[in-house]
Amino acid sequence: MKPTIAFPPAKPELKLQSHSATLPTPEERRRLEEDIEALRQRETNLREYEAHLRSWQDKLESSHGQPASAQYIAPVVPGRAASGAPFEGDPALHAAWDKVIRARELLEAEQAHLRDDRLNLKEANAVLKRREDALALREARLTQREEEFNTMLEASIAEQAKPSTLARFTQAPFMMAKSVFSSSKPKDE
C-alpha cells in the first residue's frame, strides 16, 4: 500500500483588512494633526534661517566687494577684531615658517625613500630565502646520490672480492696442493 503525501495548498489564503472602510480614530487624527503642525513650524523656522543666512552672505559680499568664492569664510563674531594674514609684517616668522615647510617636504621625501628601501630589502630577502631553499634541496639531493653511489660502490667491491665460481673451480686443485706442501715443511731441529 502506498502512503499518501499531503502537500500544502498552492496559494496561501490571505486575509487582508480593508483600510478604506475604516476611518482613523479621534486619537490617531489628533496625533496626525500634531505631527503636521510640528512639520509646518520646522518649515517656517528653516525658511527664516535661510533668509538670515542669505542676508548675512549679502552683507559679507558687499563689505568685501568681491564675489563669493569657494574658500572658507570664518564667521564674524561681534566684539572681536577680524584677524589678518598670519605673516603680515613679520618677515622672521615668515622665514621660519618657510623653513618648517621645507623641512616637512624633506621629511616626506626621506620617508618615501625609506619606504622604497624597505620594500626593496623585503624583496631581496624573499629572493635570498628562495635561493637558500633551492640550495638546501640541491644539497639534500646530492647527499642522497652520494649515499646511493657509496652503497653501489661497496656492493661492487664486495662482488669483486668474491672469486667467481669458475675461478674457484680452476684454482681449487692448486690451492689444495699449496696447502698440502706448505704444511709439510721440514723443521730444523
Which residue, 82, 33, 80, 79, is CA-closest to 60? Answer: 82
Can you spell out the DSSP letters for 34-55?
HHHHHHHHHHHHHHHHHHHHHH
Containing 176, the helix (H) or strand (E) segment is helix 165-183
| Tens-binned pLDDT, residue by residue, of the chain (189 aa) | 566 766 666 666 666 666 555 677 889 889 989 999 999 999 999 999 999 988 988 888 888 765 545 555 656 656 655 555 655 678 888 888 889 999 999 999 999 999 999 999 999 999 999 999 999 999 999 999 999 999 999 988 887 777 777 777 788 888 888 888 887 555 554
**pLDDT value of position 83:** 56
Cell reading at 188: 730444523
Residues listed for the chain: 189
**pLDDT value of position 133:** 96
Can you spell out the DSSP letters for 101-156?
HHHHHHHHHHHHHHHHHHHHHHHHHHHHHHHHHHHHHHHHHHHHHHHHHHHHHHHH
Containing 61, the helix (H) or strand (E) segment is helix 26-64
Cell reading at 12: 496561501
